[in-house]
Structure 1
Amino acid sequence: MLDFPVENLSAEDVERLRRIYEPLTNSVRDLIDATIRTEVDGDAVAAAKAEIDSATTRLRSRQLDGSFGVRFGADGDQMPWGNVVIGMRNPVAPPLVFAPTADGGVRADFHLGAAYEGPPGHVHGGIAALILDHALGGAASAPDKPRLTGTITMRYRRMTALGALHVEAAVVRTEGVKTFAEGRLCDADGVTVEAEGVFIRPRWARD
């Protein structure tokens, strides 16, 4: 049992939580992939299910009401650990780790496996849209100036192969509360999806 709430934590306590939960999340990611690709017999599946059900019961013995949300450390750093794209505690997230680019945008190199398949051997188009939406939003926003998706347009140039991928996005211009951003998703053979979007600073975050 943790002896402190998951908010206003020191950098040391944030790292302590990361050491506790990140290995669990990685194990569940492996489990998802194994579940999709296993070819073991019925007895092995039944045994695995019993073990998984037991682990789920143990983890549910103490849990949050609702979603994780975005928590903040004592130094103001965000902890969006439940986020479906970047969440350290969300095994559905790839996850992506974004880095800044020279032009003020963001970029990430990541891997998508069997859990993200649409067409055989390729990334589902909705997953591509999810990742690009997050990348464009990340480029358009700042910690003290959040911006939410107003509209986004996707151009699917070809299918995206599962495996090693790259995404990048940058701001094109800002007009009042609207910020315009563009980005692209690439596989080993080049650009597969292009996106452009308008991101709005919500009323509650305006000066």
Structure 2
Amino acid sequence: MDFDWGVISADEHDRIGALHEPLAEAIRRLVDASLHSGADAETIMAARQTIDEVTEMLERTPTDRPRVLRHEGTGLPVVWRNPAVGRHNPLAPPMETHHDEGRVWTEFTLGSVYEGPPGLVHGGICALLLDQLLGEVATRQLSKPKFTGTITLKYLRGTPLGPLRGEAWVEGHEGYKTYARGFLRDAQGITVEAEGVFIMPAWARDA
């Protein structure tokens, strides 16, 4: 299950990002507005028509870029489409990860688009974000092919909407397995803990 990787230069990466990241942010704003709008039927029908027109405009020219890309300067995968951290994916929370001394950390804010119980982040969103954080640290910024084998979460209390911090680190290795732990927290302390096992697939071991 190897991939035909394309390579993208730093300049091209930045050029495309400057186009698509604001587009993704505009769509996030649209989603949030659609949840909170109290507009009348006529306004909503007009908005739907405009959205359909914009969608058709974007659909006219599909991308010809390879589905999987590596950054020419860093050698790391480009994860624009990733639903947890993809900077071009409007579904992804506004989360940017940082790597420092064997740990990955992030600080971000979640709004009501990610709400489960009133005022709290949906538990599945917490799981998505922690799977991403543990996976990044287990794969050294996604540079090593390893997939989630198991992930276990312990919800200590509800995770409030608003400013949050996430961290993850590697606990150890055993053959083709990497063990990682992490958490989400708000200003009052940890809300969710996670531990996971990440496994290198057979095709990568042979390589």
How many angstroms apart in 2 are the aligned matches of 1:107 and 1:33?
A: 26
| Equivalent AA in structure 1 for residue 14 of structure 2 | E
Per the TM alignment, residue 63 of structure 1 is displaced from its structure 2 partner at its CA by 1.8
Q: CA separation of 1:15/1:57 partners in 2, compared to 1, >3 Å: closer, same or farther?
A: same
What secondary structure, in the 3-state scheme, does the structure 1 residue paired with 2:7 have? coil
Match of 1:3 in 2: none
| Equivalent AA in structure 1 for residue 131 of structure 2 | D
| Equivalent AA in structure 2 for residue 28 of structure 1 | I
| Structure 2: gaps spanning 5 or more residues | none
| 1:154-191 alpha-carbon deviations (Å, 9 max, x no partner) | 10000000111111000001011011111001122211
Per the TM alignment, residue 64 of structure 1 is displaced from its structure 2 partner at its CA by 4.7
* Identity score, percent: 45
Match of 1:92 in 2: 91
Q: How does 1:57-72 map to 2 (within 5 A)?
A: 57-64=56-63, 69-72=67-70
Match of 1:126 in 2: 124
What secondary structure, in the 3-state scheme, does the structure 2 residue paired with 1:181 have? strand
Work out which of the residue numbers 135, 138, 146 in structure 2 matches 1:137: 135
Aligned length: 200
Per the TM alignment, residue 77 of structure 1 is displaced from its structure 2 partner at its CA by 3.5
Per the TM alignment, residue 69 of structure 1 is displaced from its structure 2 partner at its CA by 4.2
How many angstroms apart in 1 are the aligned matches of 2:32 and 2:119?
A: 14
Runs of 4+ residues deviating >3 angstroms: none
Match of 1:178 in 2: 177
| Equivalent AA in structure 2 for residue 131 of structure 1 | L
Q: TM-score, normalization: structure 1?
A: 0.90
| 1:9-43 alpha-carbon deviations (Å, 9 max, x no partner) | 22111111111111111100110111111111111
| 1:113-149 alpha-carbon deviations (Å, 9 max, x no partner) | 1110100111000000010011111110124422110
Q: TM-score, normalization: structure 2?
A: 0.90
Q: CA RMSD in A?
A: 1.9
